[in-house]
Amino acid sequence: MTPRKPAAKPTVAAALPARTTTASLPAVAEATVSPPLPSRNPLDQKFHAAIARTTMSVSPMSLLLATVDWAGHLAGSPGKRLELITLAQEHARRLVEYAGQLALASPGNPAERCVEPVPQDRRFAGEEWERWPFNLMHQSFLLAEAWWQAATTGVAGVSCHHEHVVSFAARQLLDLFSPGNYLPTNPIVLRRSFETAGINLVRGAMNAAEDLQRLALGDPPAGTENFVVGREVAVTPGKVVLRTPLMELIQYSPATAQVHPEPILIVPAWIMKYYILDLSPHNSLVKYLVGQGHTVFCVSWKNPGPAERDMGMDDYLQLGFFAALDAINAIVPGRKVHAAGYCLGGTLLAIANAAMARDADDRLATMTLFTAQTDFTEPGELALFIDEGEVSLLEAQMEEVGYLTAGQMAGAFQLLRSYDLLWSRMVGEYLMGERAPMNDLMAWNADTTRMPARMHSQYLRQLFLNDALSEGRYRVGGRPVALSDIDTPVFAVATLTDHVAPWRSVHKLHYLLPSEIHFVLTNGGHNAGIVSEPGRPRRHYQSLTREAGGNYIPPDDWLALAPQHEGSWWPEWSAWLTARSGMPVPPPEAGAAELGYPVLCDAPGTYVLEK
């Protein structure tokens, strides 16, 4: 097969002067900045922004529409209402029977529960919850949850989105009244208070006061001071060899005498600091790859502020991915690149690869996607916060400040995992008086970033709301791109318990791309499943290759066919890359000053330090 030649199109590297300086780059950015967001009535904009501030960016109108849809259709469904009345009577009967059994129970004759929690529900797992009256409390609560789940689902005529919103809202309200969240109704907290003579409550009050003070001052959570960027985390040696208005490109120093000739370019999501892939030395994916003889480059995105408000998706492509690719082509000439993208960075990489295929640009050897979606018809629980009303409200708020704040994003994720991220933390730290030990992943998670108003609006509208990428309607450079044009081999990683990019959504690559796809499904969540170093306990994954042009394998069939492996998936990825690389060669020098890519500073650079 004759290799395709890159199309003769201007690149960012070509547009830059021979010696790249930060002073010269704003002119390039100005040439590529997209038009500002569409204007709206100033009074409406201020009013909508005020609503967003008071409702944590949750659209009350969207919630009202969902409630009216559900309540109206429920009112017109007498059969469903009769089922719910019957279910309530059955729950009441079972609870009364359970209370009677408790009165007669003994160690050798325990009462039979009237409802069992799902396996992953840890709220009432302690043996203290089996004692009266706490057993009756938690069984009553679980029955109420089951009734409301039945009441908010399966109502004929209710739209799928509205059903999910109402069901989610009901769960959040019920969580508020869980007996495990309060001192008088939590037997574990009561026992601890008795054992410590209330010292746990004193410590909890001190923890709450410290957290409130940190919140007021804008300081990070307690314990993050033990994970300083460049000291404990993000310490893999390297050099910054390019700086644009949106990113710094880090070239990591070789750790072996020879390296695989094809370099790796990692594109993380701009919603996160890049060093999730370079945490502590023991769990750094970057360090692992360098140790396996790979030349690694990584994009470190700028933390945008008001000045970047009009930066759009095209800017992230040109001043991010393509600028990095041009630099790597200059530093490692004549070699194709293994490109890897994480989350939104993976979506951006897929867009870039489709545009390159359209333009006959064959500079990529392979494409790796970590928990990255390319079809957004089933985006998971985040879809609860994405409809026209929500997006319009977010746009009004972003228009005022120029970006989406970290607090807005954190609030949405806390609601999605309210027990893990909110209630269990409050019980543990404020009632039990125990600070959860801070680790590097938690410290990274607290090191938040922002997103430019225009980019985030485009991302939500074009990808989430309109699903333009999977349907061949997404435009790059004014022309649509199609994922079906991509022919580079793909290594895709999804995680079992991902709330952001559900694995079945990631799996849709199988019918969008005709190329070879090596799909890996690992245990863990969106972040912990990726930070899964060799030697970490309780790690396992499944993997299966669909050859180029092969038939579509539905997700449930894939799950049944894919063999299971113990341990980390990192070695399998490294071996997959090695099999698609040439014979080892001496490592390249850092940067290429003569071509406009001098060494600017040591890793981790300056953008990652911006708050």
Q: What is the pLDDT of residue 30?
A: 34
Per-residue pLDDT tens digits for 251-264 = 999 999 999 999 99
Q: For residue 53, give the H/E element and its range.
A: helix 42-54
Q: Identify which has the larger pLDDT, 587 or 37.
A: 587
371 and 301: one domain?
A: yes
CB 471 within 8 A of CB 522: no
pLDDT of residue 475: 95
Which pLDDT tens digit goes with each residue over 398-440? 888 888 876 666 555 555 555 566 788 889 999 999 988 899 9
Given this model, what pLDDT does residue 414 score? 57
pLDDT at residue 418 in the model: 57
241's CB contacts (< 8 A; 6+ apart) are 249, 250, 251, 327, 331, 590, 591, 592, 597, 598, 599, 600
Q: Clarify whether residues 272 and 380 are in a common domain.
A: yes
In the predicted model, what is the mean pLDDT of residues 484-512? 95
Residue 74 lies in a domain: yes
- pLDDT category at 34 given cuts 50, 70, 90 is very low
Confidence of residue 480 (pLDDT cuts 50, 70, 90): very high
Q: How far apart are CA 338 and CA 368, in angstroms?
A: 8
Domain that holds residue 119: 57-177
Any idea what the CATH number is for the domain that residue 317 is in? Answer: 3.40.50.1820
Does the pLDDT of residue 447 top 50, yes or no?
Answer: yes
**Tokens representing residue 279 in the block:** 């945490």
Where does the pLDDT of residue 500 fall: very low under 50, low under 70, confident under 90, or very high at 90 and above? confident
Strand residues in 268-352 grouped as ranges (E): 296-301, 337-342
- Check pLDDT > 90 for residue 530: yes
Is the pLDDT assigned to residue 47 strictly greater than 90? no
For residue 352, give the 3-state DSSP assignment: helix
pLDDT in tens, 100-110: 988 887 777 77
Judgement on whether residues 368 and 512 belong to the same structural domain of the protein: yes
Count of H-run helices and E-run strands, the chain? 23, 15
Beta strands 296-301; 264-267: pairing state: parallel
pLDDT band for position 313 (cuts 50, 70, 90): very high
Report pLDDT for 126.
Answer: 85
Residues with Cβ within 8 Å of 79's Cβ and at least 6 positions away in sequence, in order, are none
The answer to whether residues 391 and 513 belong to one domain is yes
The domain total for the chain is 2
The mean pLDDT of 373-400, rounded to a whole number, is 84
Cβ distance 426 to 208 under 8 Å?
no
Whether 421 maps to a domain, the answer reads: no
Judgement on whether residues 240 and 163 belong to the same structural domain of the protein: no
**Prior bond of 281 cis (ω within 30°):** no
Does residue 393 lie within any of the structural domains?
yes
3-class secondary structure per residue, 445-489: HHCCCCEEHHHHHHHHHHHHHCCCCCCCCCEECCEECCHHHCCCC
110, 145, 177 — which closes off a domain? 177
Q: What is the mean pLDDT of residues 3-14?
A: 36
Q: Is the pLDDT of residue 121 over 90?
A: no
- Strands 475-476, 296-301: pairing is unpaired
- Can you tell me whether residue 566 is helix, strand or coil? strand
What's the mean pLDDT in 204-209? 94
Give the pLDDT confidence score for residue 38 in this predicted structure.
52
Q: What is the pLDDT of residue 141?
A: 95
**465/537 same-domain check:** yes
The whole-number pLDDT of residue 416 equals: 58
**Are the beta carbons of 157 and 370 closer than 8 angstroms?**
no
* Structure confidence by residue, pLDDT tens digits, 561-583: 999 999 999 999 999 999 999 99
Indicate whether 229 pLDDT > 60. Answer: yes
Predicted confidence band at 395 (pLDDT cuts at 50, 70, 90)?
A: confident
Final residue of a domain: which of 161, 177, 193?
A: 177
Residue of higher predicted confidence among 390 and 133: 133
Percentage, residues of the chain above pLDDT 70: 91
- Please tell me whether residues 379 and 482 are part of one structural domain: yes
**Does 445 fall in a domain?**
no
Categorize the per-residue pLDDT at 195 as very low, low, confident or very high, splitting at 50, 70 and 90: very high
DSSP tag of 564: E
Say which DSSP state 111 is in.
P
Does residue 534 sit within a domain?
Answer: yes
Same domain? 339 vs 455: yes
Q: Within 10 Å of residue 96's Cβ, how many Cβ atoms?
A: 11
Is the per-residue pLDDT at 275 higher than 80? Answer: yes
- SS3 assignment for 85-101: HHHHHHHHHHHHHHHHH
Which one-letter DSSP state was computed for residue 131? S
Q: What is the model's pLDDT at position 436?
A: 83
User: Is residue 29 located within the same domain as residue 74?
Assistant: no
Residue linked to tokens 């990808």: 463
106 HSE (CA, 13 A, CB side): 2
Q: pLDDT at position 406, please?
A: 65
- Of 177, 207, 225, the domain-final residue: 177
For residue 114, what pLDDT band results from cuts at 50, 70 and 90? Answer: confident
- The residues near 206 (Cβ < 8 Å, ≥ 6 apart) are none
Is the same domain home to 168 and 243? no
Pairing relationship of beta strands 601-602 and 479-480 according to DSSP bridges = unpaired
> Shortest CA distance to 57 belongs to which of 446, 385, 306, 414?
385
Mean pLDDT (the chain, rounded): 88
Q: Is the residue at 431 inside a domain?
A: no
Which residues neighbour 287 within 8 Å (Cβ) at sequence distance 6 or greater?
236, 255, 278, 281
Q: Are residues 171 and 267 in the same domain?
A: no
Residue type, 339: A
In a domain? residue 430: no
pLDDT score of 413: 58
Instruction: Quickly state the pLDDT bin for 386 (edges 50, 70, 90).
Output: confident
Distance CA 288, CA 236 (A): 10
Residues involved in catalysis = 343
What integer pLDDT is reported at residue 411 of this predicted model? 56
Residue 164 sits in the same domain as residue 282: no
CB 233 within 8 A of CB 440: yes
On whether residue 86 sits in a domain, the answer given is: yes
Average pLDDT value for residue range 372-384: 86
